[in-house]
Amino acid sequence: MKRILFLTVVLGVALMITFIGFNVNSQERIMQKLNLQTKIGDGKDKEVTPLFDGERRKIVQITLRNKAVLDAHKAAEPITIQCVAGKGLLIVGEEKEEVELKEGMLVTIEPNVVHEIRALSKVSVLLTKFKEK
């Protein structure tokens, strides 16, 4: 009888640990805090800092200093570009539409659309790339 009670307690504890561990792991998967740099200090003219690389999206912070340019290119997936510090110029599409990048500006760009970013002096943007499953 003592063995059955002991095995029941051990099994119960094991199930509790598994359940609690599962909940902790689930919480880690549903949220992650990212630290953005909202002030542009000294550094390289072009700096790319990966912040998150998940199954469905990738987030990087791109900082350009000293009027640096992120040359024209295309992304195969839809993207967003959000200015978090400084000022810059986003040039989008074959028509070369210009968007002034300043703090708080968020731009969405469809897949395979050419775009480039120019720092007017210095600019830092948050780039989110949405991936296919």
**Residue in 65, 51, 78 with CA at minimum distance from that of residue 117:** 65
What is the total count of domains within the chain?
A: 2
Q: 125 and 67, same structural domain?
A: yes
**Residue in 38, 51, 111 with CA at minimum distance from that of residue 79:** 111
Q: 121 and 64, same structural domain?
A: yes
Q: 51 and 27, same structural domain?
A: no
Q: Is the dihedral of CA 15, 16, 19, 24 positive or negative?
A: negative
Q: 59 and 120, same structural domain?
A: yes
For the entire predicted model, the pTM comes to 0.77
Q: 111 and 56, same structural domain?
A: yes
Q: 10 and 71, same structural domain?
A: no
Low-confidence ranges of the chain (pLDDT < 70): 1-29
Q: What pLDDT shows up at residue 30?
A: 87
Q: What pLDDT shows up at residue 84?
A: 98
Q: Which residue range(s) make up the domain with 120? A: 46-130
Q: 52 and 25, same structural domain?
A: no
> 64, 71 in Cβ contact below 8 A?
no
At residue 64's C-alpha, the angle toward residues 132 and 97, to 5°, is: 65
Q: 69 and 21, same structural domain?
A: no
> 35, 49 in Cβ contact below 8 A?
no
